[in-house]
Amino acid sequence: MAAVSVGPGSCAEAAEGEISASYGVSFDKNNTWDMDGDQWDLNITTGETPRQGITLAMNVLVPSSGGRPSFEGRIHVLAVLLLGSSQEWAQSNTVAELVADDFSGTVSIDGKTYSRATVSIPFSDTVGANVNGQWVGSVPYSQAVKQPVKKVRIFFVGRRCSYAGEIAIENPYFTYDQASVGDGHSVNSTVRRGDGTSLSLSGTTLVTESGGQSSADWSQVSLADKQATAAAVKTYAYLRAVGATDHVIFGMEDELWSKAGAAPDSQKGLTGSDVEDITGSNAGIMGMDALSLTGQEFSASQYNGGFAARNGLPAISAGGLGTAAANVKAAAAVANAAISRGSLVTLSCHMPDFVQVPEASGYKPGQGPSYAKYNFAGSSARDQSGDPAHQILPGGACNEKFNAYLDMIADYAGQVNGPILFRPFHEGTGNWFWWGTSGCDAATYQRLFQYTVEYLRDTKQVHNLIYVYSVDGDNTQGSVAAYGSRYPGDDYVDVIGFDMYYKDPGADSGPWFSKFAAEVSAAQQFASQHGKVFAVTETGIMRTVPAQGDVATALNRSGNPEKQWFEKVLNVLSGTGASYFLTWTNNAELFHVPYVKAVNGDGSLYGHEMIDGFMEFFNDRRSVFAVNQRQILNTLR
């Protein structure tokens, strides 16, 4: 047993070369969260109350017959600190994840051979804790951890995992240096921040760091909403001006609150954003989906449990508002936080199949907003039963439901302190959503889009929306005519966009980038013909079949063949007229942008293998992030 220092007066006992705990498990591979077996208590302690950032490191072992284990899915490792004589507890909000390939080392203990994987689980600025007998998922570390650690409790969970057999723990110990532990696939960064972008506004002229100039004259702007707010008109002029330079704004879905990297920890330089962790800036555009307004992807509870506290914002009480209105208010608060940092905001809508939308449980007529009557949180955008495309239009059985849904959008927009790039019925040239080609003819699609604009603009008097029409690039295949096949008309659209992903990347990315460039050209031509701004409204790397051990992935955890993908996208878009491109979200199961797991003592980053490539993209003078446009957007508002 060796004492391991974890701070002044604190130590933990680390067993080297021997098993500290062992248990037999059998996970159900069809279960997304299979907690098999009892918890394991490890007798490692600290002499004093540990400071924030303490990290549990240990080796996880499985029996080996000479090679790496063979199992599907993932093993999740959860850690809980048991504190003081009363055994109060604090659970890390970071879950370690292990796939079969992580068990790359071997060790022989007591004549038995094991495959070994290393995990590290930090206890950051928020933890899970028992507050007044109830589980609270996000409690400030300083409030939850006030006594020395007496034990550590471990849980193993199967995530669509087929593993069955022994799992053992070797050498558990505490440290404050997560990066020193290693995880077998993360790397240390070598590229440092050196942002080369500088934008300024001289009157109505956008000036770049290279001396380039373009007009941002908003007096020449005519939007689909003739009563659009001055900020919406000026923002549109700014987007057009950016497109006329060689610069492109970078955007990301859910960027301020959903991440794949380490939990936020202000003392360790880790924020609520993977983009900010790497670059020090937020993305130039923060995307959000209406599912975040419904409480499905985000909620007032999540807002209060983490985002509000981290950002010094007041909590939102559902008591007077009701849950539905509180969720909308929370989503608007996140949008306003993004705007205050220099980001633009875009909103997409994975609308439910309104035929199947039920009334909300416990709803009482006349109480709360119209949308409180319904539960819009279901992920049924791909369900085409019941002909929702026709049923939600006037005269249809679900028109009232659809109007209530739009009332929710209007309520959100009314609380956002700036313009919103609103993108309903996206990828309408595809066949997977109920508003797509297999469930909705072109004329009905156009009427749906037009009705939505008319209801929000004319009936609800919402005037801070910039309307975005986006097709699916894989279906339009570089055809200018295809953009017009379902186009709602110039009086209803402000921005032309397309969604296109690099699927199943191989060693040669050239063919995909050629198709991407052709789609950019088609979008540019169609937008020019109609006098509109254009953008790449969704893109990223996507695997149609998840990597081994993953439920779903975009970027691989390691072995990505195109590590300069972001810079190459910028190379294609620069100078084409494109104003922005947006990647999809990051979370523990899915990530489209690299992430940070720890900040090293020398300031370098430890995390996803594409950190350097993303930093080079940020440093490129042509890429525009929130930090580059904050002053301009403040002026335009």
Residue 2 has pLDDT above 60, yes or no: no
**Are 49 and 85 in the same domain?**
yes
User: What is the average pLDDT across 583-590?
Assistant: 91
Domain boundary among the residues 121, 152, 184 is at 184
Helix (H, G, I), strand (E, B) or coil at 458: helix
Query: What span, in angstroms and rounded, lies between the C-alpha atoms of 572 and 64?
Result: 48
208 within domain boundaries: yes
Domain boundary among the residues 122, 153, 184 is at 184
User: What is the average pLDDT across 447-456?
Assistant: 98
Domain boundary among the residues 184, 209, 233 is at 184
255 within domain boundaries: yes
Which pLDDT score, from 0 to 100, does residue 12 have? 41
Residue 529 has pLDDT above 70, yes or no: yes
On whether the CB atoms of residues 145 and 123 are closer than 8 A, the answer is yes
**Are 269 and 330 in the same domain?**
yes
| Residue 14 binned pLDDT confidence (cut-offs 50, 70, 90) | very low
Segment 136-157, tens digit of pLDDT: 888 888 889 999 999 999 999 9
**Are 96 and 206 in the same domain?**
no
Cβ contacts of residue 215 below 8 Å, gap of 6+?
A: 204, 205, 206, 237, 240, 241, 244
- Classify residue 216 as exposed, middle or buried by CB count within 10 Å of its CB (0-12, 13-18, 19+): buried
Query: What span, in angstroms and rounded, lies between the C-alpha atoms of 448 and 492?
Result: 11
150 within domain boundaries: yes
**Are 130 and 259 in the same domain?**
no
| Residue 3 binned pLDDT confidence (cut-offs 50, 70, 90) | very low
**Are 384 and 473 in the same domain?**
yes
Segment 251-308, tens digit of pLDDT: 999 999 999 998 888 888 899 999 999 999 999 999 999 999 999 999 999 999 889 9
CATH of the domain at 559: 3.20.20.80
Which pLDDT score, from 0 to 100, does residue 36 have? 64
106 within domain boundaries: yes
190 within domain boundaries: no
**Are 133 and 244 in the same domain?**
no
User: What is the average pLDDT across 526-551?
Assistant: 91
Query: What span, in angstroms and rounded, lies between the C-alpha atoms of 175 and 109?
Result: 24
Single-letter residue type at 384: Q
Altogether, the residues listed in the chain come to a count of 637
Phi, psi of 149 (to 5 degrees): -80, 130
Residue 227 has pLDDT above 60, yes or no: yes
| Residue 549 binned pLDDT confidence (cut-offs 50, 70, 90) | low
189 within domain boundaries: no
Residue 366 has pLDDT above 70, yes or no: yes
Residue 60 has pLDDT above 70, yes or no: yes
Residue 463 has pLDDT above 50, yes or no: yes
Number of domains in the chain: 2
**Are 175 and 223 in the same domain?**
no
User: What is the average pLDDT across 96-121?
Assistant: 89
Strand partners, 605: 599
On whether the CB atoms of residues 429 and 476 are closer than 8 A, the answer is yes
Q: What is the 3 state secondary structure string of 95-163?
A: CEEECHHHCCEEEEECCEEEEEEEEEEECCCEEEEEECCEEEEEEEHHHHCCCCEEEEEEEEEEECCCC
312 within domain boundaries: yes
Query: What span, in angstroms and rounded, lies between the C-alpha atoms of 549 and 564?
Result: 25
Please name which of 222, 215, 272, 269 lies closest in space to residue 245, comparing C-alpha atoms: 215
Chain centroid to CA 83: 33
**Are 348 and 438 in the same domain?**
yes
Question: Residue 127's domain spans which residues?
Answer: 2-184
Which pLDDT score, from 0 to 100, does residue 37 have? 59
CATH of the domain at 147: 2.60.120
Residue 437 has pLDDT above 90, yes or no: yes
Q: Is the pTM of this model over 0.75?
A: yes
On whether the CB atoms of residues 213 and 206 are closer than 8 A, the answer is yes
Which pLDDT score, from 0 to 100, does residue 251 have? 98
User: Of 192-196, 240-244, 317-321, 490-494, where does mean pLDDT reach its minimum?
Assistant: 317-321
Q: Which helix (H) or strand (E) holds 214?
A: strand 213-215
**Are 301 and 337 in the same domain?**
yes
**Are 458 and 502 in the same domain?**
yes
CA distances from 154 to 23, 36, 43, 69, 397 (A): 11, 12, 11, 21, 52
24 within domain boundaries: yes
| Residue 4 binned pLDDT confidence (cut-offs 50, 70, 90) | very low
**Are 134 and 262 in the same domain?**
no
**Are 379 and 291 in the same domain?**
yes
Average pLDDT, whole number, for the chain? Answer: 92
Two tokens, residue 140: 């400030």
Two tokens, residue 387: 């002909």
